[in-house]
């Protein structure tokens, strides 16, 4: 399998991820049809970027090492965000700590919710668990990159590898309609083509004709969006396992992601200095993920997201608040900790 060194960060990828994080925040502001449009590609963009930056394993020993590092980084952050959310909801929601029994019940439910690891309400037999929050993405990302890395290691023939990617994705699609798996593993199955596309994209030099990439992918995305809209199938949402006109929805996601990635190349090439804030957000997207996942748990911060009567103004306010919190958290991290390597940052 093709492999390239990703020891050095790729600026246009960080810019694209920075755009992606802002779109995730905007998409979660629940602005009608705009939300549906953003959801067609904003999360798939991160899976494609992860496939692009993934350094695949060449040996079983390397696979074990890479999987362990990914588990420690992604799952530890998922656990940390979930733990902090649990603490905040104990502090700010009195009924969760009204009695010792209530507190123990809440903690046990949160434990089960974390194991369920779903971005939407999930049912196992007679037990229904609420959604785990944004950390479902980190869980799906860990399993997706681990499965992809394992497949490319054991399937030495490209035809077999591509076939296995297709079969596993179809299996994930079926599971999404039959029984969701814990920790969003079924989502990790269905998104394997996105990882494959990102991996194959390493062979393409997007810097040669970035404007053509932007224009072509934008036209393709708008055309597919129009077709899905006419068919009444625009709600593509991985968290709730909504895959309209599968696999066409994935083609639409790839087209939208390519537009953002092409835009990242254009900005890096022609507007490098003005795009620095996006690079910073993209490079430290896991920090923004923490902020985005926890800000709504603090009542006085969450209230600010709805202070105005206009949804678009509220969305802008939310982006500004979360970006400000991101800057403060990043500053504190820089003051007390100097990272030794960028390898972990590129896992997301």
Q: Is the pLDDT of residue 55 over 80?
A: yes
**Once rounded to an integer, what is the mean pLDDT over residues 287-300?**
94
Provide DSSP, 186-246.
HHHHHTHHHHHHHHHGGGS-TTSSHHHHHHHHHHHHHHHHHHHHHTT----BTTTTB-TTT
Q: What is the pLDDT of residue 7?
A: 56
- Using an 8 Å Cβ cutoff, are 48 and 194 in contact? yes
Q: Is the pLDDT of residue 258 over 80?
A: yes
Provide DSSP, 145-178.
HHHHHHHHHH--SHHHHHHHHHHHHHHHHHHHHH
**Once rounded to an integer, what is the mean pLDDT over residues 215-220?**
96
Q: What is the pLDDT of residue 345?
A: 60
The per-type count for the chain, helices as H runs and strands as E runs, is: 16, 2
Q: How far, in Å, CA of 125 to CA of 172, rounded?
A: 19
**Burial (0-12, 13-18, 19+ Cβ within 10 Å), 164:** middle
Rg (CA), the chain: 20
Q: What is the pLDDT of residue 5?
A: 41
Alpha carbon distances (Å) from 195 to 78, 147, 201, 267: 20, 10, 10, 24
Provide DSSP, 298-340.
SHHHHGGGG-SS-HHHHHHHHHHHHHHHHHHHHHHHHHH---S
Angle at the Cα of 219 from the Cα atoms of 215 and 222, rounded to 5 degrees: 135
Reported confidence tier of residue 303, pLDDT bands at 50, 70, 90? very high
Which of helix, strand or coil describes residue 129? Answer: strand
The percentage of the chain sitting over the pLDDT mark of 90, rounded to a whole number, equals 82
Angle at the Cα of 250 from the Cα atoms of 247 and 255, rounded to 5 degrees: 135
What tens digit of pLDDT does each residue of 75-111 get? 999 999 999 999 999 999 999 999 999 999 999 999 9
Q: How far, in Å, CA of 20 to CA of 259, rounded?
A: 11
What tens digit of pLDDT does each residue of 8-28 get? 789 999 999 999 999 999 988
The percentage of the chain sitting over the pLDDT mark of 70, rounded to a whole number, equals 94
Reported confidence tier of residue 3, pLDDT bands at 50, 70, 90? very low
Q: Which of 10, 1, 81, 4 is nearest to 342 (CA)?
A: 10
What tens digit of pLDDT does each residue of 152-174 get? 999 989 999 999 999 999 999 99
Residue written as tokens 């206009």?
310
Q: How far, in Å, CA of 194 to CA of 247, rounded?
A: 11
pTM for this entry:
0.93
């Amino acid at each position: 399998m093709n492999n390239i060194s990703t020891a050095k960060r790729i600026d246009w990828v960080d810019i694209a991820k920075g755009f992606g994080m802002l779109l995730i925040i905007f998409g979660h502001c629940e602005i009608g049809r705009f939300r549906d449009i953003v959801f067609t590609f904003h999360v798939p963009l991160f899976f494609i970027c992860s496939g692009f930056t993934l350094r695949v394993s060449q040996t079983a020993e390397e696979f074990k090492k890479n999987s362990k590092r990914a588990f420690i980084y992604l799952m530890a952050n998922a656990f940390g965000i979930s733990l902090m959310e649990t603490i905040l909801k104990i502090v700010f929601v009195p009924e969760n700590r009204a009695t010792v029994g209530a507190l123990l019940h809440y903690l046990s439910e949160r434990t089960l919710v974390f194991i369920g690891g779903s971005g939407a309400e999930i049912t196992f037999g007679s037990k229904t668990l609420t959604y785990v929050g944004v950390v479902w993405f980190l869980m799906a990302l860990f399993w997706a990159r681990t499965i992809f890395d394992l497949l490319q290691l054991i399937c030495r023939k490209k035809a077999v590898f591509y076939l296995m990617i297709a079969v596993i994705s179809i299996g994930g699609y079926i599971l999404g309609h039959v029984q969701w798996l814990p920790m969003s593993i079924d989502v990790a199955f269905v998104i394997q083509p996105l990882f494959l596309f990102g991996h194959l994209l390493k062979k393409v030099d997007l810097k040669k004709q970035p404007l053509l990439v932007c224009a072509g992918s934008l036209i393709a995305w708008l055309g597919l969006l129009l077709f899905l809209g006419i068919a009444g199938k625009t709600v593509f949402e991985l968290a709730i396992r909504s895959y309209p006109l599968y696999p066409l929805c994935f083609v639409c996601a790839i087209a939208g992601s390519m537009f953002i990635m092409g835009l990242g190349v254009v900005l890096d090439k022609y507007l490098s200095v003005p795009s620095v804030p996006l690079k910073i957000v993209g490079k430290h997207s896991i920090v923004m993920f923490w902020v985005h996942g926890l800000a709504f748990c603090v009542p006085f911060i969450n209230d600010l997201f709805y202070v105005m009567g206009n949804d678009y103004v509220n969305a802008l306010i939310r982006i500004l608040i979360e970006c400000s919190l991101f800057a403060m958290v990043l500053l504190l991290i820089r003051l007390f900790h100097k990272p030794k390597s960028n390898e972990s940052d590129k896992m997301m």
